[in-house]
Amino acid sequence: MMQTPHVAVIGAGPAGLMASETLAASGVRVTVFEAMPTPGRKFLMAGRGGLNLTHSEPFDTFVSRYGEAAARLQPILEAFSPSRLIDWAEDLGQKTFVGSSGRIFPATLKASPLLRAWLARLAAHGVRIETRRRWTGWTQAGDLAFTDEDGGARHVRADATILALGGGSWARLGSDGAWTSLLATRGVAIAPFRPANCGFVVQWSDIFASRFAGAPLKGVALAHEDVSARGEAMIASYGLEGGAVYAITARLRDAIVRDGAARLDIDLRPDLDQETIAQKLAALRPGETLTNRLRRTLNLSPVAIGVLREAHGVSLPAEATALAKCVKTLPVMLHATAPIDRAISTAGGVSFDAIDADLQLRAMPGVFVAGEMLDWEAPTGGYLLQASFATGVAAARGALALLARDRVQGD
């Protein structure tokens, strides 16, 4: 009698869990191995600031967010599209809504109810999750090697393996990138990790940093060379972070690597042109301070006025046209990326040249890869989870196709 095939999924993040669900739904035996004591730690962290599952923009625009990897990811995202992801979440009892920016969230905004319902469904499908199992490579016989918490070794034989080990940030949540050397020694091409969706170091004055760290610059436009983004930027004690910054991270990061620093121009009032701003600022009131004039006429917040003074000097020009120019173009020099471990995601990882269309490693037939460990990057906006889920589905389908071929050959 033919035995039910066994697939090992390593990594219990969104990509690995989605792969395991797809596999179990097709009747194969699935074991998920996870190094941490509980599954989905980064996923739960993603839910802290409002779990942004995906985005509602037109599909072509959506796919373009993946930049250089867009062409490779397109068929994978078509096969598990944003609308499929919404149906999946709703099927787990998690109603979703479209936020004002077009981003899609579960109604609870959190990851924990979704993860709870998902784990229950996986258990009902017979998916076994073994936690505190760190994958350490392969034995000479080709079995998967794991260590448990006490350093004890365990070997597992699988008919196919899906690696979903995550990127190289937030090591304390499990994705420590330690897997790169295990694959590199097997001849798998790996692009070095680089921070994506990360903050940047700015040399703020001590007084500004201590007063405004954690304060948001709302509704601003950021520009660097020919790229720009609108939204929110957050002052950090070390520099600048937040959604609008993340939208152009890749270009800023690459400029710093190339030139040693990158200039970012902030427009504090992108909805108004310079002339309109100058007209508003010209409405003087006797004895009024410059700070009050900026607040009254342009509704600038204390942090916006603070950053204006950081960029243009404490003594801002009083003349309306010159002051309007300062409000529209506020140069900030970015000197470095914030440490990679604090980045929301990372670029780099397994090169697309190292895998086939089924996400199978060319150097290691029977081993598939999924999620952030692949070399793609995208801004925040739900693109990270969508691609992690979709590549999880694709890798599982690749493994199922392989098992089906093996079965035919075995008959």
Ligand X SMILES: Cc1cc2nc3c(=O)[nH]c(=O)nc-3n(C[C@H](O)[C@H](O)[C@H](O)COP(=O)(O)OP(=O)(O)OC[C@H]3O[C@@H](n4cnc5c(N)ncnc54)[C@H](O)[C@@H]3O)c2cc1C
Stretch that binds ligand X, among 27-35, 113-121, 202-210, 233-241 (CB under 6 A): 27-35
**Residue 131: enclosing H or E segment and its boundaries?**
none
List 106, 168, 174, 398, residue binding ligand X (CB under 6 A): 174
Q: According to the binding rule CB under 6 A, does residue 125 interact with ligand X?
A: no
Give the residue ranges of DSSP H helices in 26-151.
Answer: 41-46, 59-64, 70-79, 82-91, 112-124
Q: Using CB under 6 A, which of 5, 7, 9, 11 touches ligand X? A: 11
Between the CA of residue 209 and those of 201, 203, 206, 368, what are the distances in Å?
12, 9, 5, 46
Sole binder of ligand X in the list 175, 180, 249, 337 (CB under 6 A): 175
- The answer to whether 13 contacts ligand X (rule: CB under 6 A) is yes
For 225-344, list the strands marked E by DSSP.
227-235, 239-241, 262-267, 330-334, 336-337
Window contacting ligand X (CB under 6 A); options: 12-20, 268-276, 317-325, 398-406: 12-20
* 34 is a site residue for ligand X (CB under 6 A): yes
User: Tell me, what amino acid is at 262?
Assistant: A
In the bound complex, what is the minimum distance in angstroms from residue 193's beta carbon to ligand X? 12
Establish if 20 lies at the interface with ligand X (CB under 6 A). no
Q: Do the Cβ atoms of 228 and 268 come closer than 8 Å?
A: no
Rounded-to-integer distance, Cα 203 and Cα 195, Å: 20
Distance CA 192, CA 184 (A): 11
Interface mask toward ligand X for 250-279; x: CB under 6 A: ------------------------------
Subset of residues 324 to 383 that bind ligand X, contact rule: CB under 6 A: 344-345, 371-372, 382
Contact with ligand X (CB under 6 A): which of 80, 135, 246, 376?
135
Please say which residue, 16 or 306, places its beta carbon nearer to ligand X.
Answer: 16
Helix (H, G, I), strand (E, B) or coil at 72: helix
d(CA 104, CA 50): 10
C-alpha to C-alpha distances, 15 to 163, 220, 241, 372, nearest whole angstrom: 9, 34, 26, 8
Query: Under rule CB under 6 A, how many of the chain's residues touch ligand X?
Result: 35
| Minimum distance of ligand X from residue 1's CB (angstroms) | 32
CB of 54 to ligand X, least distance (A): 7
Q: Is 243 in the site for ligand X (CB under 6 A)?
A: no
Site for ligand X contains 145 (CB under 6 A): no
Of 58, 167, 39, 55, the residue nearest 112 (C-alpha): 39
Determine if residue 151 is left, alpha or beta; phi over 0 gives left, psi from -120 to 50 gives alpha, anything else beta.
left
Query: CB 88 → ligand X: shortest distance, Å?
Result: 14
> Which residue number, 146 or 212, has a Cβ lying nearer to ligand X?
146
Candidates 166, 306, 349, 379; binder of ligand X (CB under 6 A) is 166
- Is 86 a binder of ligand X (CB under 6 A)? no
CB count in 10 Å sphere of residue 287? 6
**Contact positions vs ligand X (CB under 6 A):** 10-16, 33-36, 41-43, 45-46, 51-52, 134-135, 164-166, 170, 174-175, 179, 344-345, 371-372, 382, 384-385, 388
